[in-house]
Amino acid sequence: MPVFTHLDGDKARMVDVSAKGEVYRRAIASGSIHLRPDTVRAIREGTTVKGNVLATARVAATLAVKDTPRIIPMCHTIPVHGIDISFSFTENSIASQVTVVSAGKTGVEMEALVGVSTALLTIWDMVKSAEKDKDGQYPVTGISDIRVIEKVKQEIPETG
């Protein structure tokens, strides 16, 4: 019978990381939202009906990173020391990249993934009226390619 780290019989449990030492950790996640070219242009020019889409997505991503343990059940609460959120454009898409930095006992990949997912979902929410067709559907809009593109784990250098 396999031994599961997050299950004890039929009960879910969080792994005990108390014996682990603190380590510098950084994770970068990315993803894209595909939109109509007119919508991408309106976001770039700051002319969307709901306001500054990317500023709102940055705030949403930051809050999501900090709330990751409330969203992902077995995710540990970690000290988040830095968050960077960036966007890049093509004619019909916006890519988001979220970097999360911590010094702790467990990784930051989930925080980066939740951050980038929330940034993209917030963009969709802010422009959904421009993306709907006459039947209220989203024939163009889609989120894709959410993934961890880098993970760093290294000892914290001694100071003194």
How far apart (Å, rounded) are the C-alpha atoms in residues 138 and 160?
A: 57
- Residue 159's pLDDT band (boundaries 50, 70, 90)? low
Domain edges within the chain: 23-153
Identify any residues that bridge with 153 across adjacent strands, giving them in sequence order.
25
* Catalytic residue annotation: 125
Residue 155 confidence (pLDDT): 85
How far apart (Å, rounded) are the C-alpha atoms in residues 136 and 131?
A: 9
Residues 6+ apart with CB under 8 A from 5: 15
| 23-153, CATH topology level | Alpha-Beta Plaits (3.30.70)
> pLDDT for 24-62, tens place per residue?
999 999 999 999 999 999 999 999 999 999 999 999 999
The one-character DSSP state at 13 is -
